[in-house]
Structure 1
Amino acid sequence: MAYQSVQLPWPYPKLDYSRQSIEVPGTKKPGQTGHIRNASQPLLTVNSPGTFRHLQDLFQNGLRMAGPNTRFLGERPVLSTTPLQFGNSFEWQSWGTVDARRKAVGSGLYKMFQDGTIGAGQYPTVGIWSKNCANWQLIDFGCHAFNLVSVSLYDTLGKDAVEYIINHAETTIIFASSQHIPSLLKMSPHTPLVKILVAIDPLSAETKSILTAWGQERGIKIMQFDEIEAIGRANLREPLPTTSDTICTICYTSGTTGNPKGVLLTQGNLANAVHINIYGATFDEQQPLVMSYLPLAHIYERVQELNMVSIGGAIGFGTGDPTRLLEDLQLLKPNFLPSVPRVLNRIVASGMAAGQAGGIKGALFNRALQAKLQRLRTTGDNKHALWDRLVFSKIQAVLGGNLKLVGCGSAPITPSSMDFLRVALACDVLEGYGLTENCGSAARVLPGDPTSSGTIGPPTIGCEWKLVDVPAMGYTSEDKPNPRGEIYTRGGPCFKEYYKDEKNTKEAVDAEGWMKTGDVGELDSCGRFRIIDRVKNIMKLAQGEYVAIERVEALYSASPIVQQLYVHGDSLQSFLIGVIIPDPVQLAAIASRVFSTKVTPEDTGVLVKATQDPAVKKALFDELHKEAAKNALRGFEQIKKIHVSMDPFTVENGCLTPTLKLRRKDAYGKFKNEIEAIYAAEAANQPRL
């Protein structure tokens, strides 16, 4: 099979920050903008010259660039399970080793599908239910090489959703971590197609014996990872010919309501997304190195790691323990870190605490911060030889001290947080935008853009956008000074259909291939987009005023005191209530002032007590009110009452989806009693007729 080589690096031309996107002439129609594309390059497709056509091209390009003896997949070895202890260095598999092992894994699976040992549905699906690890990628690489279809199961999906996906994808073989195999055996009466469970990590002889006996009772064979490789080595063959249209994965999205939807993604979708992402990348003599800690079951992390594969990089897998993340980073010292606001905001809060410490250190920190912010916002330069060495090197060292690029996606981040990260880390910190349906690769800010914070940049070079009027919400493509409307996207990374779901497919994708995102965007004068709202997320208050709840939440959440926020409105009530989970660092500072004693973010008991203190609650409310005033929220859009708690919304308590979106119904259910009590108390204070 002939592979297409891609010449890298593929740098940006000279960037014009005042003209980042262009409207395609002749495409404007009533009720929508014209088609908007990136201004720096023609639209990239899988048929463009010199690009990746499929994932085989991508892997071979990485192997060519790195060479077979260069490190590729690394993990910290487990030294002890009781207590759990990891080694203080990473052990690496080379590119050559991974190439051989992916062929063995793929050959083994292909043989089993061919002889009927596994397989049942329309596609040869292979389930994966595990934390990030080298074997996760080996399975996926093996599937890419033999046109098999991977189906990832989230650790946090929950039993019902896992069962649904296994049955919906008609999966007969699942690779799972040892902790998940008992769960899969328990649910086996409800997943009758499953024939084989493969332990992704080694099993002790005793555990293997117990699971094997249990599996025999359920008619399921238990295998170990090395057994699949052994079958493959005994029946070894070269990777199969493939095309850009070959289905690669069914990536299930975790909706806030209903069953997950199976997004069918092709090898071409992912290959195009990767080339989009590495556009503009430059390489020095150092091999690109990424830390893998965000779930590989989600498209964001999957594409970011494929970026490393395409350029011959290396991937270091963390321990999977959030409490060891900083330790993992300091040992690995990555130069690329895909991340999310949930993690990055903790860095911001910890860093800002230094400026509030007072004394000479606090004054020095604030002086350094203001000097760097002024330079960033006027020139785009986020480096300063003196202040980086004296002040910010300590923050940089926490993340390994070697970062060149930090990616931020999956949720919005405030402009002030983004600016802080850029000056504190002194590297490119680039926010992007995308959905599972477009491989998470629809928009990205340009490096060095001094005023990009708060935007998601222009469309990527593989996607085109348009804004479509939303009259019910007052957004139109003719709005001044900036067009506004629902974002529609199409292009190489965009999916064509949901698996076995014609109804949702037709609702999401129109006849011209445009995908409706459900997000409302605004296009600024520089050709960048800003996400300003969500379609169909409007509620009416008792007095008849309409409120866009998620927009209100997003604006209030810009306050540093907010770790999480749920805003509740009721059509029978006249005002909004906010349930706030405060940031521990900010709450500790407020509690210290109110209680006239030092309170630290680790004083959990004191912080819980503080949430019930009227003076603390008033201080928190006042901070929220400042945010409302800054954003000119109208009276009915403002939170009038708050409930404060240190019990956060999590995936485990059902209030967040696995991609960390708020499940509004469940969030309300969690605090229903407190919310209803606030409404009842307010009603009791009203004069009666």
Structure 2
Amino acid sequence: MSHGCASQGIPIVTGYDTLSATDIQHSLSQTHAEVIYLDPHLLGTASIALENSQVKTVIINTGSIFSGGYDIDQFRNEHPQFNVITYEELIQLGRHNLKEPIPVKSSDLFCIMYTSGSTGLPNGCCITHENFLAGITGLLGGIDDFVSDQERVLAYLPLAHIFEMALENLVMYIGGTLGYGNPKTLTDASLRECNGDMVEFKPTIMVGVPQIWETIRKAVLSKLNCSGFVAKTVFWTAMSFKSFAVRYSLPGKGVFDDLVFGRVRQMTGGRLRYILNGSSGIADSTKEFLSLIVAEMLTGYGLTETCANGALSSPFEQTTSAIGSTSPAIDVKLVSIPELGYFTDADAGPCQGEILVRGPAVFKGYFNNPQGTEKAFAPGGWFKTGDIGEFDDRGHLKIIDRIKSLVKMQGGEYIALEKLESIYRTSQAILQVMVHADFEYTRPIVIIMPNTKFLQDKSRELGFSDDDSTLSSERMSAYVLDDLQDIARRSGLSKIETVTGVVITDIEWTPQSGLVTPTMKLNRRFILNYFRDEVEKCMQSIG
């Protein structure tokens, strides 16, 4: 559908399938869209948003694997004002009304891609044909040396995400094979009498977000903890040997891959060569763990506004602290932020500052939002990412945090929330975590989505009473807090970075609940509002 529209010079507008009717209505009314293409199970949500829109034609993807939703004939009867056709009917219309491709200019609009909206209504990023092609070319320049047309890439992120759209076009360009999966069916664990997507498709490359990788790591550790003493000893000995061999580039680093780590690798299909983390930061310990037992983990950094371009690590130039080289499709510079203590003056310490980007892959501005566009750009066409970065001595870019995620504490020091979350997320006791800090207090707290099964097993192991075994009990909160504080000590966190309170929530953090965005980023404002009473009680208890 995207390529067909591009061939006729028709701009597309993307939207996540987890958006509320209000968000969909916002994008429809702002862009004056006249056609909408969607799966049948989304007709219920869309029907509300369509009421005050300029949409005239509704194209329904009847080949969707997702069930449920409106009956198409019922939708037609209830909404006679729309021209409702199926995708198959659209194909037939095209066969009987063939059109030659319409040449487009590089400056023509290709897509209005809406951000996932973690801080309010989403912004529509105007991406031209030049932007998108430059973005794909920039990504290709970062991976061309280690991929081929033999790659099998498992795709499961929404196409409304810039990286997924760029990735799929990139795989088509190199001649690789795409396999479409679902986050809920990636592994065998969530299925009965059926292989998971990874086992069935056997990808060679897989892209994911920190939550996916932490889930895999915790699943491996959970199975390992159920093993006997000998199995545990063999596993950790093999891990230590391989870690040492990799660190010092010694031969024989793969000697235990099949013998010790083979079963783990079969869980992911057995053919993975590289896994790529994107979206947000991941703990160094998780990155090393998965690189040693599953496949080498590469990390990437990019934004919707830069067509997924920023920095990308290479298997030939891996570093433990930085991401990697910047994309050839953009220029990157750092600008000092004196009020936050970040300076680009090399004599004053590490070269740190806000990351600014310009180049052909950088978008043209926010749709119908001149004030937002003006605020987003510095003189000279430099886009202000809002991220704080650092260049190491090899010219590799490291992401420290987001400016909006830096919080000034009572003593005047700043803490980086996303950095802390990537560390605390490694706890076996939790599935999701948000660090919350306030300038009126000296230390932060955490709000968590618990790993219920792990905590139930742990409470039995520790001999908790029935009352203490509940997630809301003081003893359970104390156990989780002790675990997080132990992680803080082992990770070398300072006193003001060590949490002093915990709020255990009883709801799943999903895009449907509104606690995370469609790309699984924390919806901080919504989380704080949702658990306001619990957060205030926790903050008051720590003084």
- Superposed pair shares fold, TM > 0.5: yes
Superposition map of 1:107-186 within 5 A: 139-186=1-48
Give the SS at the match of 1:643: strand
Partner of 1:78: none
1:25-61 deviations in Å (ceiling 9; x for gaps) = xxxxxxxxxxxxxxxxxxxxxxxxxxxxxxxxxxxxx
Partner of 1:210: 74
Aligned-pair CA distance for 1:682 = 5.0
Give the SS at the match of 1:391: coil
1:112-140 deviations in Å (ceiling 9; x for gaps) = xxxxxxxxxxxxxxxxxxxxxxxxxxx11
Q: Distance in 1 between matches of 2:375 and 2:429?
A: 38
Aligned-pair CA distance for 1:505 = 0.8
Indicate which of 303, 314, 329 corresponds to 1:462: 329
Q: Distance in 2 between matches of 1:407 and 1:643?
A: 31
Asked whether the equivalents of residues 21 and 46 of structure 2 are also in contact (C-alpha less than 8 Å), the reply is no
1:279-315 deviations in Å (ceiling 9; x for gaps) = 3435788632222211111111111111111112222
Partner of 1:225: 87
Asked whether the equivalents of residues 534 and 551 of structure 1 are also in contact (C-alpha less than 8 Å), the reply is no
Q: Distance in 1 between matches of 2:405 and 2:258?
A: 47
Aligned-pair CA distance for 1:252 = 0.3
Aligned-pair CA distance for 1:511 = 3.0
1:503-539 deviations in Å (ceiling 9; x for gaps) = 1111112231211111111222222222112214444
Aligned-pair CA distance for 1:267 = 1.9
Asked whether the equivalents of residues 198 and 223 of structure 1 are also in contact (C-alpha less than 8 Å), the reply is yes
Aligned in 2, Cα 1:648/1:522: closer, same or farther, shift over 3 Å? farther
Asked whether the equivalents of residues 441 and 460 of structure 1 are also in contact (C-alpha less than 8 Å), the reply is yes
Aligned length: 530
Partner of 1:666: 526
Aligned-residue CA RMSD in angstroms?
2.9
Aligned-pair CA distance for 1:561 = 4.3
Partner of 2:342: 475
Asked whether the equivalents of residues 326 and 399 of structure 1 are also in contact (C-alpha less than 8 Å), the reply is no
Q: Distance in 1 between matches of 2:151 and 2:452?
A: 35
Indicate which of 226, 232, 250 corresponds to 1:362: 232
Aligned-pair CA distance for 1:194 = 0.6
Partner of 1:445: 313
Asked whether the equivalents of residues 468 and 474 of structure 2 are also in contact (C-alpha less than 8 Å), the reply is no
Give the SS at the match of 1:387: coil
- Would you say 1:310 and 2:179 are equivalent positions? no
Amino acid at match of 1:346: T
1:598-647 deviations in Å (ceiling 9; x for gaps) = xxxxxxxx899353454443333233223333455443443222223453
Give the SS at the match of 1:531: strand
Partner of 1:484: 352
Aligned in 2, Cα 1:291/1:236: closer, same or farther, shift over 3 Å? same
Asked whether the equivalents of residues 174 and 198 of structure 1 are also in contact (C-alpha less than 8 Å), the reply is yes
- Would you say 1:650 and 2:514 are equivalent positions? no
Give the SS at the match of 2:235: helix
Partner of 1:520: 388
Partner of 2:110: 248
Aligned-pair CA distance for 1:447 = 0.8
Aligned in 2, Cα 1:556/1:585: closer, same or farther, shift over 3 Å? same
Aligned in 2, Cα 1:546/1:202: closer, same or farther, shift over 3 Å? closer
Higher mean C-alpha deviation, range 305-314 or range 570-579:
570-579
- Would you say 1:197 and 2:58 are equivalent positions? yes
Q: Distance in 1 between matches of 2:252 and 2:421?
A: 30
In structure 1, runs of 5+ residues without a counterpart are 1-138, 598-605, 684-689
Asked whether the equivalents of residues 354 and 365 of structure 1 are also in contact (C-alpha less than 8 Å), the reply is no
Structure 1 vs Structure 2: percent identity of aligned residues? Answer: 28
Aligned-pair CA distance for 1:157 = 1.5
Aligned-pair CA distance for 1:365 = 1.2
Q: Distance in 1 between matches of 2:207 and 2:25?
A: 30
Aligned-pair CA distance for 1:345 = 1.3
1:583-605 deviations in Å (ceiling 9; x for gaps) = 457546643541289xxxxxxxx
Q: Distance in 1 between matches of 2:417 and 2:151?
A: 41
Asked whether the equivalents of residues 382 and 423 of structure 1 are also in contact (C-alpha less than 8 Å), the reply is no
- Would you say 1:529 and 2:397 are equivalent positions? yes
Partner of 1:297: 160
Asked whether the equivalents of residues 210 and 280 of structure 2 are also in contact (C-alpha less than 8 Å), the reply is yes
Q: Distance in 2 between matches of 1:626 and 1:285?
A: 44
Asked whether the equivalents of residues 22 and 49 of structure 2 are also in contact (C-alpha less than 8 Å), the reply is no
1:66-85 deviations in Å (ceiling 9; x for gaps) = xxxxxxxxxxxxxxxxxxxx
Q: Distance in 2 between matches of 1:347 and 1:309?
A: 28
Amino acid at match of 1:225: Y
Asked whether the equivalents of residues 35 and 57 of structure 2 are also in contact (C-alpha less than 8 Å), the reply is yes
Q: Distance in 1 between matches of 2:97 and 2:461?
A: 71
Partner of 1:412: 281
Asked whether the equivalents of residues 482 and 525 of structure 1 are also in contact (C-alpha less than 8 Å), the reply is no
Partner of 1:371: 241
Partner of 1:624: 484
Q: Distance in 1 between matches of 2:461 and 2:207?
A: 37
Give the SS at the match of 1:363: helix
Aligned in 2, Cα 1:370/1:636: closer, same or farther, shift over 3 Å? closer
Give the SS at the match of 2:515: coil
Amino acid at match of 1:210: Q
Aligned in 2, Cα 1:326/1:257: closer, same or farther, shift over 3 Å? farther
TM-score, normalised via structure 2 length: 0.89
Asked whether the equivalents of residues 20 and 45 of structure 2 are also in contact (C-alpha less than 8 Å), the reply is no
Q: Distance in 2 between matches of 1:212 and 1:638?
A: 57
TM-score, normalised via structure 1 length: 0.71
Indicate which of 297, 305, 319 corresponds to 1:429: 297
1:135-179 deviations in Å (ceiling 9; x for gaps) = xxxx11211222211111211121110000011111111111111
Aligned-pair CA distance for 1:246 = 2.5
1:480-500 deviations in Å (ceiling 9; x for gaps) = 542111111122321121111
Q: Distance in 1 between matches of 2:263 and 2:128?
A: 43
Amino acid at match of 2:56: K
Aligned in 2, Cα 1:612/1:182: closer, same or farther, shift over 3 Å? closer
- Would you say 1:332 and 2:332 are equivalent positions? no
Amino acid at match of 1:514: W
Asked whether the equivalents of residues 349 and 585 of structure 1 are also in contact (C-alpha less than 8 Å), the reply is no
Asked whether the equivalents of residues 511 and 517 of structure 2 are also in contact (C-alpha less than 8 Å), the reply is yes
Asked whether the equivalents of residues 276 and 441 of structure 1 are also in contact (C-alpha less than 8 Å), the reply is yes
Aligned-pair CA distance for 1:403 = 1.8
Structure (1 or 2) with the larger CA radius of gyration: 1
Amino acid at match of 2:327: T
Aligned-pair CA distance for 1:273 = 1.9
Partner of 1:351: 220
Asked whether the equivalents of residues 148 and 176 of structure 2 are also in contact (C-alpha less than 8 Å), the reply is no
Partner of 1:95: none
In structure 2, runs of 5+ residues without a counterpart are none
Asked whether the equivalents of residues 380 and 449 of structure 1 are also in contact (C-alpha less than 8 Å), the reply is no
1:448-469 deviations in Å (ceiling 9; x for gaps) = 435x234211212222211111
Amino acid at match of 1:510: A
Higher mean C-alpha deviation, range 630-639 or range 253-262:
630-639
Q: Distance in 1 between matches of 2:527 and 2:182?
A: 30
Superposition map of 1:372-391 within 5 A: 372-379=242-249, 384=254, 386-391=255-260
Aligned-pair CA distance for 1:355 = 4.1
Partner of 2:211: 342
Q: Distance in 2 between matches of 1:432 and 1:486?
A: 17
Asked whether the equivalents of residues 468 and 476 of structure 2 are also in contact (C-alpha less than 8 Å), the reply is no
Asked whether the equivalents of residues 214 and 425 of structure 2 are also in contact (C-alpha less than 8 Å), the reply is no
Q: Distance in 1 between matches of 2:59 and 2:293?
A: 44
Q: Distance in 1 between matches of 2:411 and 2:515?
A: 29
